[in-house]
Amino acid sequence: MHFLKYEMILSKCNALTTWVWMLLSLLPVGHALFNGTSVQTVHRGMSVNISCNYKPSTDSDDTVALSTNSTSLCSAMKSNKSWIYQPCRKHCRFIWNPETVQMTFEISNLQINDSGTYKCVVTRLIPPPSVLLSEERTVVQVIARPIVSVSHISALGGFASILCSSEGFYPSALKQLWMRNGEFQNASLTYCINKTNPDGSFTLHSYLNVSDCEHYSCWVNHSSLSQPTNMSLDCYGNRDKNVCIALVTSALLILIILITVACEHSRRAHHRSPGRVNVTPEPDLQSHLQYDVYSLLGDHRPVPCSPVGVHSSPQ
């Protein structure tokens, strides 16, 4: 009885093995069909290599093509053991490595809108009929780091405001929080503005009203960052104080320069003026110049008289 059961099991195994060999015989010798999906995450501006994971044989003519969203990007055809390269779209090229017998497509300078599913298809054309040899799918996710900046802005509603901006990031999921003296602030104290940029990236502006002069910083985390970033902000009051000091110092320097220039100009003008000449005015002959004239008569006493009023005595 046990022997009969064993024969029945053996017969079923032989039948299953025969069916497997029949299925394998339908496939071309040396070829196999590989279906799979891989995911690659790439930073914006970088390159990605999409491997077709298929090694063509030497006795057939094959074509390999890369496409996305039903749009052909690049293709090449093997004929007579050599490759014929077809024109490819910008930033895309076909790479054949004869040493490893591998086919790869390279896409360079990836942008956010290049994210999507890429399909590499290998088809045998000769001998006919054409046969699908391989189809490989690769999901490419392009990410972009946020550019974080913090700054002071004009006072709103009587309060000083500070601004934290994260610009050009992708995907849209991003955490942005304010910290005061190393502690996270209540999100209800802030208000945010989100917007989508023309290139598909995102920008987030976060505002916080402050009335003190403490240490504030903006904490940002995103999938494109290896670790969160924390941007600090100088005290608003110290900044105003420093600005006032700088303005007063500049005004004093300008005043000193103007005084120095004025003094130098006055000194040079003084040296260029002619020397003074003391001129003693001539005396008034009528009122100051007098002579002592001795009379020729009598006692010879001097008689003062003016030359202008002297008349000749008659002989």
CATH class of domain segment(s) 29-143: mainly beta
The verdict on pTM exceeding 0.75 is: no
Local structure of residue 308 (DSSP, 8 states): G
What's the number of CA atoms in the CB half-sphere (13 Å) around residue 237?
7
pLDDT band at residue 1 using 50, 70 and 90 as cut-offs: very low
Assign 230 a pLDDT band (cuts: 50, 70, 90).
very high
Q: Residue 100 has what pLDDT?
A: 82
Region 196-211: mean pLDDT is 92
Query: Which of these ranges, 33-37, 87-91, 120-124, has the smallest mean pLDDT?
Result: 33-37
Q: What's the pLDDT score for residue 19?
A: 43
For 200, other C-beta atoms within 10 Å of its C-beta total 16
Among 24, 93, 97, which Cα is nearest to 55's? 97
Question: Of 150, 160, 177, 165, which is closest to residue 205 (Cα–Cα)?
Answer: 165
**H-assigned helices in the chain:** 2-26, 236-272
Question: Which residue has tokens 């195994």?
Answer: 13
- The token duo for 194 is 């989100």
CATH number of 147-233: 2.60.40.10
Taking residues 254-282, report their average pLDDT.
70
Distances (CA, A) of 211 to 31, 184, 230: 73, 17, 22
Q: How confident is the prediction for the chain on average, in pLDDT?
A: 76
Residue ranges of domains in the chain: 29-143, 147-233, 241-266
29-143 and 147-233 agree in CATH topology: yes
The mean-pLDDT minimum among 47-56, 107-116, 177-186, 216-225 falls in 47-56
